[in-house]
Amino acid sequence: MAVKIRLARRGRKKLSLYDVVVADSRSPRDGKFIEKIGTYNPLTVPASINLDDNKAFDWLMKGAQPSDTVRAMLSYRGVMLRRHLQIGVAKGAITQEQADAKLAEWVKAKQDKIQSKIEGVAKAKLTAAKARKDAESKVKEARAEAIRKKAEVATATPAEPAAEETPAEPQA
């Protein structure tokens, strides 16, 4: 039986959410699966990946093949690197301590990068909101100035009193 780690769609139209599942490759996309190992929400910035790394690693070591998207997510989370290092340990190329140290160093660097991206997105959002507020205040000031000028023009030229009509003198 060929086992795949892939996405199963759920959620409604245009608001997609995905479950990361381990399933038989012959089963349909949203059909029967062996185990759910996480969720994926592509609509957040950055995309939310909630994944049980240990279960994913165990399935990879058992021979499960990830889909392209799931492979990218596993690489993003460091599971593929962990698998690579564990294979090196099994072959005797490196020790377990060296593999754990490399993985911990990579995870720390990745977390810093993710955190900086989250902060950058938040900063960009604040900057955009400030720019919108500034533009709105400029428009408001321009309207207030136009109203003020209109009022000045109205007060500067007082309404002319109605001319008293005198009977016209008949011409001779």
pLDDT digits (tens, 9 = 90+) for 50-103: 999 999 999 999 999 999 999 999 999 999 999 999 999 999 999 999 999 999
The CB-side HSE value for 85 (13 A sphere, CA atoms) comes to 19
| Domain 3-94 is found in CATH 3.40.50.1820 | no
Q: Are 11 and 17 in contact (CB under 8 A)?
A: yes
Q: Are 146 and 138 in contact (CB under 8 A)?
A: no
pTM: 0.71
The secondary structure of the chain in percent helix, strand, coil, rounded to multiples of 5, reads: 55, 20, 25
Instruction: Please tell me whether the peptide bond between 42 and the residue prior to it is cis, using omega within 30 degrees of 0.
Output: no
Domain spans of the chain? Answer: 3-94
Q: Return the SS3 of 6.
A: strand
Q: What is the pLDDT of residues 62-73, one digit of tens each?
A: 999 999 999 999
- Position 20 pLDDT exceeds 60: yes
